[in-house]
Amino acid sequence: SQQGEEDPQALSIQEGENATMNCSYKTSINNLQWYRQNSGRGLVHLILIRSNEREKHSGRLRVTLDTSKKSSSLLITASRAADTASYFCATVHSGGSQGNLIFGKGTKLSVKP
Amino acid sequence: GAVVSQHPSRVICKSGTSVKIECRSLDFQATTMFWYRQFPKQSLMLMATSNEGSKATYEQGVEKDKFLINHASLTLSTLTVTSAHPEDSSFYICSATPQGLPSGNTIYFGEGSWLTVV
């Protein structure tokens, strides 16, 4: 069953602005991952944060994890038109198989040039 | 880097026929692969876990006789949609993790397969 919930469901910003997307989940997790999906295409893994980590950076991406609130955020700084895509969080719950991901509903990001 | 390939990327079939979708790990072995379905503008839903050399594990609500999964080798899993109906039209995506790696490693997704049943 779907456990992740992203908000906002859709986000439209201008190039150069920062984009913040949030994700909440319900059960204990091993790790939380963020993926990007261009329209009609497969998923690209962006970043993984483990349950004992609070923050992680990768280039223009910054992910935070608050296990007490069961929430995570993805920040894309200095956004570009090429960042336009849907972004999903996915969790591996405690005791679950590594590849058994539970996906959130996603945030559709539109970056206008 | 590791790549997972799906074929076909797009397929149109007539209602009542069966269609097979392949998922291959190109440069690593995967004892386990996962099949997801994604309806338009919705998220991915796990359908089943494909286990090499044994039966697949299906998620609740997924008909195992309709969605046949075969994982005959460490690099290939197939999903066959039998007696397809228009409501089976969807985007099907597979994923795989290199065998033997500890938890927390990257999962690789295929590019997905669009199925349209007419």
Nearest chain A Cα distance for residue B15, angstroms: 23
CB contacts < 8 A, A to B, total 68
As a whole number of angstroms, the distance between CA B21 and CA B78 comes to 6
Measured between alpha carbons, how far is B94 from B78 in angstroms, rounded to an integer?
10
Interface list for B 43-82 with A (CB within 8 A):
43-46, 49, 60
| Cα B97 from Cα A98, distance rounded (Å) | 8
Q: Is residue A90's pLDDT more than 80? A: yes
Rounded mean pLDDT, B41-49: 90
Would you say residue A99 has pLDDT above 50? yes
- Tell whether B91 lies on the interface with A, counting CB pairs under 8 A: yes
Strands B19-25 and B76-81 come out as: antiparallel
Cβ contacts (< 8 Å) between B24 and chain A: which residues?
A: none
Judge whether A88 is closer than 8 Å to chain B, CB to CB.
Answer: yes
Question: Which secondary-structure segment (H or E) carries B34?
Answer: strand B32-38
Tell me how far apart the alpha carbons of residues A31 and A48 are, in angstroms, rounded to a whole number.
7
Whether residue B21 is predicted with pLDDT greater than 50 in this model: the reply is: yes
Taking the mean position of all CA atoms in its chain, how far away is CA A3?
A: 13
Closest to A22 (Cα-Cα) out of A68, A67, A79, A64: A64
Q: Which residues of B touch A97 (CB under 8 A)?
A: 32, 49
Q: Identify the residue among A21, A24, A37 best suited for mutation to test binding to B, counting B beta carbons within 10 A and taking the highest.
A: A37
Q: Report the alpha-carbon distance of residue A35 to residue A16 in Å, rounded.
A: 21
User: Which member of A50, A104, A106 has the closest CB to residue B104?
Assistant: A50
Q: CB distance A98–B103 less than 8 Å?
A: yes
Percent helix, strand and coil across chain B, each to the nearest 5: 5, 50, 45
Q: pLDDT at position B13, please?
A: 96
Question: Inter-chain contact B111–A41, Cβ cutoff 8 Å?
Answer: yes
What residues in A contact B112, CB-CB < 8 Å?
40-42
Chain-centroid distance of CA A77 in Å reads: 14
Contacts of A43 in chain B (CB under 8 A): 44, 93, 95, 109
For B59-112, how does the pLDDT look when each residue is reduced to its tens digit (9 = 90+)?
999 999 999 999 989 999 999 999 999 999 999 999 998 776 555 567 889 999
pLDDT bracket for residue A87 (50, 70, 90): very high
Nearest to A30 among B91, B103, B106 (CB): B103
Reading across the β-sheet that carries B76-81, which strands appear in turn? Answer: B4-7, B19-25, B76-81, B67-73
